[in-house]
Chain A
Amino acid sequence: MVKNSDIAAKPILHVLASYPKSGNTWVRAFLTALRNVEKRSFGEKTSSNSTGSVEINRLAGVSFVDRTMVETRVGLDSADLSQLEIAHLRKEAINQFKEKLTISKDQNRGFLKIHNINAMPIRTGDAVPFLDFENIDGVVYIVRNPLDTCISYANHAGTTIDSAIKDLSSNEQMYTSWATQNYVTEQLSGWSAHVKSWCKNKDFNPLIVRYEDMSKQPTLTFAKLAKFLGFCCSAGEVEQAIQQVSFDKLKQQEQKLGFNESQINTGGFFYKGLVGHWQSVLSTPQFQAIINDHGEVMHELGYLDENHKPTELMCGS
C-alpha cells in the first residue's frame, strides 16, 4: 500500500452526504477500518478492538452539528443566534477544521458527515450554500431506497412508519437530535428533494453510492468508494476492512458498549440493516404512498423500472 501522506501533502476534505438511515455510518465505519488496515501495514497502532471490529464510538468523520463544537472553533457563543447565523458559523467551523487538518501521518484527510439538504435553511429564504464548496475536495452521496429508509427512520426517531412516510415527503422537515437540543438544526427536506439537491448539483460531481450495492456487491462498491476518496489500497485490504464492519459486528458492539450517536426511545441505532425489509413490513397503502411521493427519483436511481415496479436491486435475496 502506498502511504497516503506520501501522495497528499495538503489537507483533503470529503463530504459524506446522505438522508438519515441510509448507510452513512456504515461508510464511516468502513473508512475507519480502511485507515486501520492502512496504519497496520505501516506498523502503527489502530483503534480497532479485540474482536477485529472498528470502535463504533471512534468513527472517522465529523458533522459539526454539536453547537459546542462549532462555538469552540469560531470562538463565539451561539446562545443568542438565529438558526441561519448558526448555520453560517457551522460553515466557518468546517473551514477552520479543514485549515487545521495536519499534513502528516495520514491525518490530512478529513470526512464530513452531512444530513443537510444541499441548501441553507429554506425558512429564512437565504440562498447561500451551507458549505464553502471550494474547500471541499469531493462529495460522496449515499442513498438507500425510501421504502427501507422509512422503516429504519421510524425506529431511529421512535415514531410510526406512517409518520416517517410523512417526514420523508415533507419539504419542511428539520433534523435535530431527538436526545438533546444542543444541536445545530439541519434542514432535511423530503427524501426526493434531498437526493436531487446533492445528485443534480452542477458545482460538483458526486460519487453516488447505493446502500443496496454496499450490501449486495460490497467488494466492488467499497473498492470504488476507496478509489474515489484517494485511498491507494489493494482488493485484499478493502476486503479486510469490509470484514471489520459487518452489520452484525457493529450491532453487537452497540449492544455491548452503547453508541454515542444513537437516540433515546429507540431500539438501537443499528436496527435490521436489511435490503428488502419493506417487503415484509410495509402495508400496500404505505408502499403506494412512498411510490407516489418518490417514484420519479426512485426510477432514476434504478429502484423502480419504467412501469414503476420494484427492481431486483431493492428486493431481498
Chain B
Amino acid sequence: MARFKYSAYGLTIFSEIKLSPLMAEQSTQAPSKKKRDSPSVTIVSGSVPPNGFTDSYTKFSYCHVRPEVVWLKVPNVARFLIEKGQQITFASELGDNNFGLIDHTAKKFNQLDIALFILAQCIPYILMQRGYLVLRASAVAVNGKAVLFAGSTQSGKTTYAAALHNRGFDVISDDISVIDESNRVLPGYPYLKIWANIVRYLRHEISSFTPIRPDVEKYWYPLTEGFCSSPLPLHHVYCVNKNRTNQWQTKKITGIKKTDTLNKQRYRPVVHDTLEQTPLFPKLLQLATQVSVTEVAWPNPLSVVGKKPRIAHQLQYFLDQINVNNALS
C-alpha cells in the first residue's frame, strides 16, 4: 500500500515508506485517468532472494543483472529487486537481536538507510530500465540551460554543484543526471549530500546539518531554494578528474571523441548494457552533436594552495567559461 508519493527524474514514485523528509510529499489519491499513463514506480517491501540469481547475465558480488531485473544488496542494510522500470521491492537485512526482540532504534536507522539506497542506487536502475541515458554527474542551471559536472566517485561533482549553488545558481540534480529523449536534463532530488569539508568550505555550521548515516561524515544539504524543478536542455558537460600532479589541464573535446567521452560518463555502463533494449550509441552520437564537452583535470578542489582551497580558482574557471559562453550565445 503506497503511503507516500513523490516526483523525481520525471517519475511519479509511490512508496510504502517515507523516502526523504527533504522531498515534497504529494497526495496519494488515485491518479486521474489522464495521469495514469505517466511513468510511475512503486516501492514495496517484500521477498527478495538472499543470494541473487543463479542465471544472471551480468554478476558482481552485490549486483546481479538480468535484462529486466536488477538484484542489489547493501550488506547489513537491505536487498532490492528493481523490475521492468516499474517496481522496487526491498527486504531488510536487519536481524532480531539475541533475545529475538526488535531494536526499534536500529529499525528506524535501517529504514532511513533503505530509503537512502532506494533513491541513490535503485532509482538510477529504474531509469536505465526505462531507456534513459543515466550519467554519473551533477547538474547546475545556467541561463536556462544545464551544465553537467561528470566524473567518478569523489571526483568533485557535488563540490562544484554546492559551490555554484552558493553563488546563486540552481541545482538540477546531484551525482546522477538523467537525459531524456529531447536531450533535456531531468530534475532529480531537492538536496545535495555533501562532505563535512564542503560544509566547512561553505562557512556553514556543521551542527545545523543532519548526517546522511550515523557512521558517514556526509550531510543532507536541502535545496529549499535554488532547486530547478523543470527539465533543461543540456548545454555543456565538464568531465572532471582529480590530477595526480599540480598541473591544471583543460581540453575541449571535439568530433567523434565527444561521443566516446560522453559514453565514459555513463553510470554503471556494464549494468546499463545488460538492461538496455535499444543501443545507446545513436543517442550518444546525436547528443554529441548538440553539446560542448570539456575534460578538466586538476588537484583535489578542497586541497589547499597557500592558504586558499584550490576550488576558489577552479570555480573562477567555470564562472569565466559561463561568462564567455553567455557572451557568445
Contact = CB atoms under 8 A, between A and B. Distances in A.
B63 A75 contact: yes
B218 interface: yes
A25 to B, nearest CB: 15
A182 B153 contact: yes
A284 interface: no
Contacts of B99: none
Given A82-B213, A92-B61, A179-B244, A76 B154 contact: no
B60 A75 contact: yes
Interface of B: 60-64, 72-76, 116-117, 120-121, 152-155, 175, 193, 212-213, 215-216, 218, 242-246, 268, 271, 299-300, 303
Given A81-B216, A82-B215, A96-B61, A76 B74 contact: yes
A89 B63 CA distance: 12
Nearest to A92: B61
Interface string A163-182: 00000000000000001111
B117 A180 contact: no
A80 interface: yes
Given A80-B218, A81-B216, A182-B152, A73 B116 contact: no
A76 B121 contact: yes
B60 A264 contact: no
Interface of A: 67-68, 71-85, 88-89, 92-93, 95-96, 124, 179-182, 258, 260, 262-265
| Residue among A82, A263, A264 with most chain B CB within 10 A | A264
Given A74-B61, A75-B271, A80-B193, A181 B154 contact: yes
A84 B215 contact: yes
B155 A182 contact: yes
A84 B63 CA distance: 20
8 contacts: A68-B153, A75-B63, A76-B74, A80-B120, A83-B215, A180-B300, A263-B244, A265-B246
A73 B121 CA distance: 16
Nearest to A99: B61
A262 B116 contact: no
| Residue among B61, B155, B303 with most chain A CB within 10 A | B61
| Residue among B60, B117, B212, B246 with most chain A CB within 10 A | B60
A76 to B, nearest CB: 4
A88 B74 CA distance: 11
A84 B75 CA distance: 12
A264 B245 contact: yes
A260 B303 CA distance: 19
Nearest to A71: B153
A67 B153 CA distance: 7
A264 B152 contact: no
A250 to B, nearest CB: 17
A290 B62 CA distance: 45
Contacts of A89: 62
A242 to B, nearest CB: 29
A261 to B, nearest CB: 9
Given A68-B152, A80-B193, A181 B300 contact: yes
A93 B75 CA distance: 14
B75 A88 contact: yes
